[in-house]
Structure 1
C-alpha cells in the first residue's frame, strides 16, 4: 500500500478544501481591489496543503520527498502573493511595477528548483530521519538553501503584515474590522511556521505551517461574507487630505491656520511655513474681510476673486469643526478654483448677448420681410392679399364695437392713355405719387392698398358715409395738383371714387367690395373725376 489516510493527512486535505472554497469565492471577486492577488494566493495555498496531505499519506520515503518537492511551489509563491496583496490593498502599488513584481518570484523559483534537484546537492534537505512512531512521518533536516528561502518568506510576510497594520491604524473606523481580519489572517500561519522551524513543533516531522492557512482561509471567508472585505478599500485621512485637488485650510477657534494641504498651498501661493510666518499680517487681514462667514453653527459658501491672485476665482466653503461631544474646535475652509467656470460663464454671457443681438436683428428682418410680403413693391402701400386678410378682421371688429366702416375704391381716369402717351414709366410714377398722397393724408388706423392695376382700395374704421365722402373729395382735388417727376410737361391726374359703408350698404367683405366697385362704376359713367356712394340699402 503506497498511501494511508492519517489524521494529519486528513487535516491537510481539510485545509486544502477550505482554501479551494476561498479560491472559488475569490474568483467571483477577482476584479475588486486586491482580488486577483488573493485569488492566486489561495491557489498556491490549495496546492501547498494538498501536496502536504499527499506527503503525509505517502508510505515510502521516495513518495514523501516527491510530494514535498511539489509542495514547494505553493510554499515559496504564497508569501509573494501576500506581499502583492498588501501593496494593492494599502494603495502602495505605485511603488512596484510589473517588472519588479516578476523579480519577486526569482528566489521562490530558485528554491523550488533546488528542492526538485535536492538529491544532487542536498542544499534544501541535508538528510531525513523517521518521525514519531505511528505518525507515518519523516523529519526533514534543513540545508542552507532552506534557510535562505525562510528568510525571504519571513521578510515578505513581515512587510505585508506591517503594511496592513499601518493601513489599519491610519484608515477610518469603517475599514478597521477588515484590516484586523487581514492582519490575523496573515499572522496566524507566520506564527505556526515559527513553531515548525524552531523545533517547537508539537508534531515532529509534520509540516504544521500549512495548517495555519486553514485559519487564514476561514478568516478570509468571514471577512468577505460578514465584514465586506474587498467591498471597500481603506483610504487614510491624510491620503485624501494630501491628494484632494481643492485647497483645504484648517483653522483653530482664533482663526489661525493650523493645517493646510498642497492644494491650498498652490491656491494661496505659500507653503505652510510661509503661512505661519505671515499669519499675523497678510492672512489675518484677508480672512477678517470675510469674518461674517466664520459661523460656529452654520456652513457658509461664497465666491470671490482670490486676494492672493486677482486672476483666480475661488468658491470657498467654511464649516465649523466639532468633536463627537459637540465641542467647537475651529473651522475647515475648502477652496475650489472656479476660474475656468467663471471664464466660461463670461464667455457664455458674451455669446448670449451676441445671440440676443442677432435674434433682435432677425426679428427686425423678419418684420421687414413680412412687411415686404404684405406691401406692393412699386407703390409701398399694402397689397391685395393683405387687404382681404385685414378687412375680414376689421369687419368683425366693427360688428363687435357697433361702429361703421367705410370702403373707398379709387381708379385713375384714362390711365391707359397716360401709359400710351408718356410711357409705362410715367404710368408707374403716377401710381407711386398717388400711393404717397394717400399714405400722407390718412390716419394710422386707416388702411391703404393697391387692389390691382390702377385701382386702390382703402378702409376707414369708425368713419360714416358723410365723413368718408368728404375725405374722398379731398383726395380727388389734391390729386389734380400732383406733379410727376422726370416729365418735361405736366400731367393732369384725375381719379374716380366709389364708396360703400358697413353696415349700411353691405355686411360681408365681398359684398362691401362689390358695392364699392358698383359705386366706382357709377362715377365712371357720370363722366369720371367724381365721387359716388353706394345707394344699396342693406
Structure 2
C-alpha cells in the first residue's frame, strides 16, 4: 500500500457519492431520485476504484482496479439521461426497451475489458511505472474513444432535455432546472481536463482522473435541487405532453400558411375528413390539407384567419356532421412580430346536441304545462259550473254573493238577487219526460244568460230553481228585468218527444235587494226565496218583490 495526500479527495468523493445514493434510494418515489441513486452508485464505484488504483503497488491489482473502475463509469451517462427525462415530465419514455438499449454499451465495455483477446481495443497498454508512488501509465485504444463519444452524447442529450424544458418553465421551475444544469458542469470540466492530459501526455495532474471528483460535487447539488428546492412537488408536465392529451384539435401555422405542428387530436381529425393525407403533415400548406373540406368550412376558416375571433365550423365526417368552435390566436415573439397562428377546434357536437335536446324537451314541457294549465282551468271552471245548464252552481253563488255583498256595502252601491222557479216542472217531467225537462232548464238558462249584463251571474240553485245575481242594480231595475224575463218565457217553446208540441214554459220570480231587504248574504237569499214563494201562492207566473205585493199574471 502507498498512501498520500492526493488519495484523500477520492476517499471523500466515494463516501459522499454513496451517501447521496443512499439518501436518493430512500426517497426513490420522488421523480428523478432513483436515477440519481444509480448515477451516484456508479460515481462511488468509480472513485473507490481510482482510490485503489493509486493506493496499491502490486501490478496485477493496479491493472484490476483500472478495469474495475469502468463498472462505475458506464452507469453515470445513462443515469443522467434517465434523471433528465424524469425531471422534465417524460418519465414514461423510460420504457423497458429503452433501458435494455442503454444496457448494451455498459455490458459491451465490460466484455471487452475483461476478455484478454479484446482488452487492448479499449486499454491499449497498462504499464506499471516504478517510483514513489508507483503509477500506471495507460494508453487508450480506439474503443475507449468510441465509449467517450457515446458517453458525451448521452450527457449532451440530458443537458439539452433539461435546457429545453427550462425555456418553457415558470420562473420558479426555471431556477430549479438551472440548478440541475449547473450541477452538470463540474464533471464535464473535470473529465475534459483528464482527457486533455491523457491526449497530450503533459502529466500536469500526475495522471489523476478528476471526473469522479466532479461527479461527487454534482451529487449534492442534484440532491439539493430535488429534495431541498422542492422540485419533486413542482415537476412540470411538459407542454407537448399536454397537447398530446388535450381533446381539442390544435394546429400551428406559420406566416406562409404551412402547418408546423399538430397534436394527435388534430391529426386524427384531418385524416378523418381526408384519409388520403400523407403520413407527415408538418410542412404541408394548410390549404392543401383542407382541399377536401366543404367550401363552407374552408370559407369559415379563411374568414377567421383575417382577425382574432371565434366562429362555428360544420364539418361532415363518416360518423356524421360535427360542429366545432373554431378559435384563432396569433403567435408573436417578444418583439411583437407575428410568427404564425394557433388554430384550436373544440368539438361542440355533443354539447350542442344536448343543448338542442334540452331546448326541445323544455319546449315540450312548456306545451305540456300549458295543456295542464288549460285542463286545470277547465277543471276549475267545471267545479263551479252546473254540468247540465253550464250555469254557475250553488257553491260558486255562495262565494260570489259574499264578495259582491262586501263590495256593495263598501261602495254603497245596490245589489239585487232574483230567484226563478219554473212552474209545474214536476208535472212537465212526468208528462213529457225528463229529457224534455232538461231541455227546458237549458233553454231557460240561456234566455236568462242572454238578458244578463257583463258582471251579472246566472246560477242553478237546485232542481228547477235558478238565481240571477245583479251587482250594482237597484230594486226597481231588478223588478223590471225580472218582468221582462217572465214575458220572454211566454214565447219559449221547447220541442217535446213524440207527436205532441212542446209545453209552454212559465216561471215565478222573487226579487230582493240590498240594503232594503237584507244586510247579509243569507238574509238576502231568504228574502228573495220568501218573495218567490209569495209569487207561487199568488198563482205563479208572476214577479214578487220582497216586502211588496205580486204583480199581475201574464196577459
Q: TM-score, normalising length from structure 2?
A: 0.68
SS in 1 for 2:285: helix
Contact 1:302 1:315 in 2 (8 A): yes
CA distance in 2, matches of 1:53, 1:443: 117
For residue 435 of structure 1, what is the aligned residue in structure 2?
A: 445
SS in 2 for 1:43: helix
Contact 1:484 1:491 in 2 (8 A): yes
For residue 159 of structure 2, what is the aligned residue in structure 1?
A: 161
Number of residue equivalences: 507
SS in 2 for 1:379: coil
> Deviation string for 1:229-283 (max 9, x for gaps)?
744344379979x9962556666xxxx85877656995999995374999xxx99
For residue 17 of structure 1, what is the aligned residue in structure 2?
A: 19
Which of 93, 97, 103 is residue 100 of structure 1 equivalent to? 97
Gaps of 5+ in 2: 549-555
Deviation at residue 493 of structure 1 after TM alignment: 3.0
SS in 2 for 1:522: helix
After superposition, the Cα gap between the structure-2 partners of 1:113 and 1:338, relative to the gap in structure 1 and judged at 3 Å, is: closer
> Deviation string for 1:201-237 (max 9, x for gaps)?
9476778526515324414524775596744344379
Q: Which moved more, 1:208-217 or 1:311-320?
A: 311-320
For residue 182 of structure 1, what is the aligned residue in structure 2?
A: 180
Deviation at residue 40 of structure 1 after TM alignment: 1.0
Which of 409, 417, 424 is residue 414 of structure 1 equivalent to? 424
Which of 502, 510, 513 is residue 522 of structure 2 equivalent to? 510
CA distance in 2, matches of 1:189, 1:329: 41
Work out whether 1:533 is the aligned partner of 2:536. Answer: no
After superposition, the Cα gap between the structure-2 partners of 1:384 and 1:196, relative to the gap in structure 1 and judged at 3 Å, is: farther
> Deviation string for 1:398-445 (max 9, x for gaps)?
344432222222223333333344443333333233333333332232
CA distance in 1, matches of 2:64, 2:425: 128
CA distance in 2, matches of 1:258, 1:231: 33
CA distance in 2, matches of 1:92, 1:368: 71
CA distance in 1, matches of 2:340, 2:148: 52
For residue 465 of structure 2, what is the aligned residue in structure 1?
A: 455
Which of 496, 504, 524 is residue 536 of structure 2 equivalent to? 524
TM-align CA RMSD: 5.7
After superposition, the Cα gap between the structure-2 partners of 1:322 and 1:102, relative to the gap in structure 1 and judged at 3 Å, is: closer
For residue 82 of structure 2, what is the aligned residue in structure 1?
A: 84
Gaps of 5+ in 1: none
SS in 1 for 2:239: coil
CA distance in 2, matches of 1:450, 1:70: 119
CA distance in 1, matches of 2:156, 2:392: 98
Work out whether 1:214 is the aligned partner of 2:206. Answer: no
SS in 1 for 2:544: strand
Work out whether 1:499 is the aligned partner of 2:511. Answer: yes
After superposition, the Cα gap between the structure-2 partners of 1:507 and 1:294, relative to the gap in structure 1 and judged at 3 Å, is: farther
Deviation at residue 20 of structure 1 after TM alignment: 4.6
After superposition, the Cα gap between the structure-2 partners of 1:24 and 1:203, relative to the gap in structure 1 and judged at 3 Å, is: farther
CA distance in 2, matches of 1:85, 1:424: 104
For residue 553 of structure 2, what is the aligned residue in structure 1?
A: none
Q: Which moved more, 1:150-159 or 1:369-378?
A: 150-159
Q: Which moved more, 1:122-131 or 1:513-522?
A: 122-131
Aligned pairs for 1:300-319 (under 5 A) are 301=309, 303=311
CA distance in 2, matches of 1:424, 1:87: 101
CA distance in 1, matches of 2:381, 2:220: 87
> Deviation string for 1:494-519 (max 9, x for gaps)?
32222222333334333332333333
After superposition, the Cα gap between the structure-2 partners of 1:182 and 1:317, relative to the gap in structure 1 and judged at 3 Å, is: same
Deviation at residue 93 of structure 1 after TM alignment: 6.9
After superposition, the Cα gap between the structure-2 partners of 1:273 and 1:320, relative to the gap in structure 1 and judged at 3 Å, is: closer
Which of 233, 245, 249 is residue 249 of structure 2 equivalent to? 245
CA distance in 1, matches of 2:302, 2:144: 71
CA distance in 2, matches of 1:128, 1:495: 148
Aligned pairs for 1:4-403 (under 5 A) are 6-21=8-23, 27=29, 30=30, 35=31, 38-48=32-42, 76-87=74-85, 96=93, 98-104=95-101, 106-107=103-104, 110=107, 153-167=151-165, 171=168, 174=171, 177-186=175-184, 188-193=186-191, 200=198, 202=205, 208-209=211-212, 211-219=214-222, 221-222=224-225, 230-235=234-239, 245-246=249-250, 273=285, 275=287, 301=309, 303=311, 324=334, 334=343, 336=345, 340=349, 349-403=359-413
For residue 551 of structure 2, what is the aligned residue in structure 1?
A: none
Deviation at residue 41 of structure 1 after TM alignment: 0.9
CA distance in 2, matches of 1:417, 1:480: 18
After superposition, the Cα gap between the structure-2 partners of 1:207 and 1:188, relative to the gap in structure 1 and judged at 3 Å, is: closer
